[in-house]
A and B are shown apart, each in its own frame.
Chain A
Amino acid sequence: MVCEMESECIEDMDIEVLSSMWPEDIGTDVGKQFNIEKPGMDQDMLEEVTILEEPTIADFQRLMELTNYTDKGSSQLAYLMKHWEYKQANAVRLLREELDNLSKQRQEVELRKLEILKDNRFEEENYGGDKRPVSILDEVYYTWQDLPVPLRKSDVIVQNKRIEIDAEFDTVVYWKQRAMQLERQLEASVQREQILMDKLQESIKNLERQSSPVEELSQILKRADNFLHFILQNAPVVIGHQDKELRYRFIYNHFPSLQEEDIIGKTDVEIFTGSGVKESQDFKREVMEKGLPAKKEITFETELFGSKTFLIYVEPVFSKAGETIGINYMGMEITDQVRKRERMAKLREEIAVQKAKETELNKTIHITEETMRAKQMLATMSHEIRSPLSGVVSMAEILSTTKLDREQRQLLGVMISSGDLVLQLINDILDLSKVESGVMKLEATKFRPREVVKHVLQTAAASLQKMLTLEGNVADDIPVEVIGDVLRIRQILTNLVSNAVKFTHHGKVGINLYVVPEPPFAKEEGHQKMSTEQSTNSANGVKEEKRASTPRSSSDQNCLDGRKHKDHPSQNHAFNDECRSSVKSECSMNGDTEEQTHSTETTVWIRCDVYDTGIGIPEKAIPTLFRRYMQVSADHARKYGGTGLGLAICKQLVELMGGHLTVASKEHCGSTFTFILPYKVSTACDNSDDPDELSDVDDTDDDTTEGFFQFQPRTLGSLFSSNGPTRPQNILPGFRSSNKFNGFSENSYSFPTTNIKSKGTSSTEDASSVIVDASEMSESTSSSSHIPETKHESLVNTNKQNEDKAHARLQNGSLDSSQHKEGMTLGTMSSEPQQTCHQVKTDLTSQWVSSTNNNDTSSEVTKSALKPKILLVEDNKINVMVTQSMMKRLGYSMDVVHNGVEAVRAVQRHSYDVILMDVYMPVMNGLQTTKLIRSYEETGNWEAASKAGIEPCLPTSHECSVLPKNRIHIIAMTANTLSESAEECYATGMDSFVSKPVTFQKLKDCLEQYLR
């Protein structure tokens, strides 16, 4: 059919080139665009041409079938038929019209004939009167003008003849002639009629001879086929018809890659393999089943033509009975489009992602700005809060010096400790922003984990308003003392415990402490942290080392043996380092190792669990738990209050210290917060004979070894009595003194031999005797609340060494008093106020020296001998005045100088225990001054000062030539409370700082820290 069509098309269409493109001889090699089922493959194309109309051609058979059996085919056929019928009908109509006209004419002619006959008969009388011409068909004829041309040919023109009669009217001849004439006319008319009849006959015959509808139909089909081909010849489409079994019956493919026989009669699956084939087959089948046309995009991945995407249109073909007998299938390759579309989609996706990122970024920026604003507000606010709060606290402190009964004192204690806590927290909130900005620096101080745990629990117990048991478990292998930033650690613990208490309604809240091996997360960062910690360990660690490296021989010449004993304790108090270790095995072990290796530092990882039996945390809330301002839900926030900052701070702090904070929780059962932190342990041990045990007896609170604390739900009246039911009993003093270690490292650095010796000899006895006295004494003082200032007169005449020793005692005593204080504020054992403790201290001193308990009045001489030497370096007169008055009120006197240069001179002349140093001063500021003094302490000369332009004073006094015997505690006084300022102070060698304006409390705290 193709070829047949082609050969004809050439005549009709110039563009038809298909025959040259697909010559017959290669037709079998490459396949053809049109592959139509044929009866036999042995027939060549030419034969096909000749058998053009042979009905045995399978495609026609199929086509016939289709036209016969399908609705579509029959409708198409019907249309063609109708068209043809219309055309024929038109022709018939025209002929019939012609015929009608002819017969009408004839009738008319006959009518006229009759009329004429009648007229003639009638006109016989008036014949000559009128001679009207008669024209026949003259007008009628032209109504036929619009007839089709072939019909026109057959038109007959009827001549209009006049009847002429020569004979005389109304004669016989005339009538004869007339009749004959009419006769002739009639004959002509009949003849015409005959001709017309013939014509009609001929026309009908001709009509019958015209082409059959089949012929015309195939003509039309051919034409359509040609057009179709013309349109399709370059279109990337595949068109096909498949029968019920989805075998191809017809396919047109612009890029044939298969031979005809490979396709016709086969199904998709039989033809190709690869992905998409099955899908398309299934889709076709689906369409067939559903009976509804559908479109689908299918990506093929076949060996035949690679990866291509086709848009397939499949429509079912129905038989007249409504059965599906096959499908028409049309596919268009849209691989490029799909690729483009996918690229577009990807692009769009990217744009969307970009946009999302952008909004996220904007949000972040917004949040950051918000945070910065909040931080700024926080900073200003905290400043605003701090002043009034410190007012409240210092008022409370002062109130505690007045006469109060036991309960009032206890309440006041809680008030003060709470106030302190709030102040601390405000500072720490400020610190949080510092942590984030990287400004935060950690401090390394020695502290006792057991003490921290206990105090945290005590504090929590004191403010507890529920029936909860608070307990603490400290494993035996936890070192007595470790080095770390105790304030931060305490803050973390306090936060976690108060959190636990907040969310626990019954049951218990507890702390577990135990040593763990170094966790994997810290292997690397741990080392870093350690090094930074070491570098920040300026206040204590470095100091010790410096002291250790300072040439001591010269100072030894001037310092008596006893004096040494005086010196060291006073420093040790800075660390709160009383050695109250008991017979615990690890203590003696520490002691042993210590004596051989003086300065080894090891890192220990301590895991701390804070557990509760509270409401727990839903799993979904855990990821956001440590975010700032986040709480488990808005409900919780309403119910329990809080800022949502606590855990964020904890996490920040723990991570800053190189640790990890995690949480495990089960809703309604409780939560456990766990943090693991590295601490350094100074294994340095001390065996000095310091009669530190005073504190142990006094306190009956053996923090160093106690491993378990419990605070039962309190009831009214037993507010503070629940502490430490499991506390071990006091240990014999002899044991204690021999187990000294850890705290007094300097002694062991500098005078190991002396220490060992002194341990063995006098100290044990001394200590034990003192302990007894002290315990008695504390009994007595606790009943009599206020004892006149000092009772030192007995000391006036004691010899130098005794005096020094007494001083040492005094300092130890004051240390005890600090424990008293803690006990009081935290509600543990002693309810003595601080001032009274001071009295205890002096009592002890005098008793130890003279074994009498005098009630003498104070004397200035004694005071100056015992009181520490304090120097105030301050240029502002008013500040001087206020500070001086406060000092006086606190029971100290001090020297005052107004700038750094004067301070250096003063230090050259006298030896001071403490210098309060203004930082910002004219002439020479505090930092510079401190550097000079430290330089002197290290080198023993004032060269640095000379270089700075301060000529050394003449050795007029004895003290001036005295070489540095003791490190002076230099306390900075600064109006600037920002961290960097403090850092600077520490960096130049200052020991601590107080912020201005100076208050009672600040002064007292400072002096207590350094003047024990």
Chain B
Amino acid sequence: MDGIVELQRQLIDYTASLFHEGFLDEQFNQLQQLEDENNPGFVVEVVTLFFEDADRLLNELTKALGQPSVDFKSLDAHVHQLKGSSSSIGAHRIHRVCISFRNSCEEQNVEGCLKNLQQVKHEYSLVKDRLETLFRMEQQILNAGGSVRR
């Protein structure tokens, strides 16, 4: 039981650090509140969906920016999608980069777009890593018979 308490404490700390470092915002809390006994694993489900979606979108973006003539309109649409998704799950830092990314699209600034794409990818890999860790920790607690929601 002590192990679980320890794990739970770690989870709390870790979650707090994610918020503190700006990876997540309160929207993520909203997601967590949506999870209940009728809807277990909701967060994981949504976030997994987000990962899939983001992977796809990042691919699209990379492809679009690799073209000799960039279609900024579709580029912008993709970024908008990513922005919406990240905002919905509370991936704060991605959301912010997306805002700047859209500005670059609006300015038709290829260089800025590439820079932003790099940044989005970077942030995405970071948040993905963090969230996966978070879920693993949660899973550990659940497996140990503890509860992850307070």
Contacts and interface: CB of A to CB of B under 8 A. Distances in A.
Interface in A859-918: 875-879, 881-882, 885-886, 888-889
A997 B88 contact: yes
Contact of A920 (B80, B85, B89): B80
B88 A395 contact: no
Contacts of A882: 30-31, 34, 46, 88-89
B126 interface: no
Nearest to A999: B30
A271 interface: no
Interface stretch (B6-14, B21-29, B131-139): B21-29
B84 A391 contact: no
Contacts of A886: 30, 34
B30 A878 contact: no
Nearest to B92: A387
A997 B80 CA distance: 13
Contacts of A881: 45-46, 49, 88
A975 interface: yes
Contacts of B80: 920, 975
B contact face: mostly helix, strand, loop, or mixed: helix
Nearest to A395: B29
Given A876-B85, A878-B53, A882-B89, A387 B26 contact: yes
A203 interface: no
A975 B49 contact: no
Contact of A996 (B31, B36, B84): B84
Contact of B87 (A388, A398, A920, A997): A997
Contact of A877 (B30, B49, B77): B49
A60 interface: no
A259 interface: no
Contact of A997 (B27, B45, B53): B27
Nearest to A392: B26
Interface in B39-71: 39, 42, 45-46, 49-50, 53
A1000 B77 CA distance: 27
Contact of B84 (A390, A885, A975, A1000): A975
B33 A398 contact: yes
A882 B83 CA distance: 15
B81 interface: yes
Given A885-B39, A922-B77, A975 B25 contact: no
A394 interface: yes
A248 B127 CA distance: 108
Contacts of B33: 398, 889, 1000
A889 B38 CA distance: 10
B87 A975 contact: yes
Contacts of A879: 84-85, 88
Nearest to A389: B26
B25 A387 contact: yes
A376 to B, nearest CB: 15
Contact of A975 (B29, B30, B39, B83): B83
Contacts, number: 72
A890 B3 CA distance: 36
B29 A878 contact: no
A121 to B, nearest CB: 145
A625 B29 CA distance: 43
Given A975-B87, A997-B27, A878 B49 contact: yes
Interface in B67-105: 77, 80-81, 83-85, 87-90
B53 A877 contact: yes
A888 to B, nearest CB: 8
A789 to B, nearest CB: 13
Contact of B30 (A388, A875, A876, A1000): A1000
Interface in A197-231: none
A878 B89 contact: yes
A387 B27 CA distance: 9
B46 to A, nearest CB: 5
A388 B92 CA distance: 11
Contacts of B26: 387-388, 390-391, 394-395, 999
Contacts of B25: 387-388, 391
Contacts of B81: 875-876
Contacts of B45: 881
A874 to B, nearest CB: 9
B84 A878 contact: yes
B39 A878 contact: no
B50 A878 contact: yes
A398 B150 CA distance: 13
Contacts of B29: 391, 395
A922 B74 CA distance: 10
A387, A395, A877, A888 — most chain B CB neighbours (10 Å): A877
B46 A878 contact: yes
Interface string A982-1007: 00000000000000111110000000
Contacts of A889: 33-34, 36
A398 B26 CA distance: 13
Contacts of A877: 49, 53, 85
B34 A878 contact: no
A885 B26 CA distance: 16
A875 to B, nearest CB: 8
A926 to B, nearest CB: 13
A391 B33 CA distance: 12
Contacts of B53: 877-878
A886 B42 CA distance: 11
A1000 B25 CA distance: 15
A882 B81 CA distance: 15
B34 A997 contact: no
A875, A922, A997 — most chain B CB neighbours (10 Å): A997
A876 B50 CA distance: 10
B83 A997 contact: no
Contacts of B46: 878, 881-882, 885
Nearest to A996: B87
Contacts of B42: 885
A899 to B, nearest CB: 12
B127 to A, nearest CB: 14
Contacts of B83: 975
Ranked nearest first, the 5 interchain pairs of A and B with the lowest CB-CB distance are A391-B26, A885-B34, A878-B85, A876-B84, A997-B87
15 contacts: A391-B25, A391-B26, A398-B33, A876-B85, A877-B53, A878-B50, A878-B85, A881-B45, A882-B89, A889-B34, A922-B77, A975-B87, A998-B88, A999-B26, A999-B27
Interface of B: 25-27, 29-31, 33-34, 36, 39, 42, 45-46, 49-50, 53, 77, 80-81, 83-85, 87-90
Given A889-B34, A996-B88, 13 more contacts: A387-B26, A391-B25, A395-B29, A876-B88, A877-B49, A877-B53, A881-B49, A882-B31, A882-B88, A885-B42, A975-B80, A997-B30, A999-B26
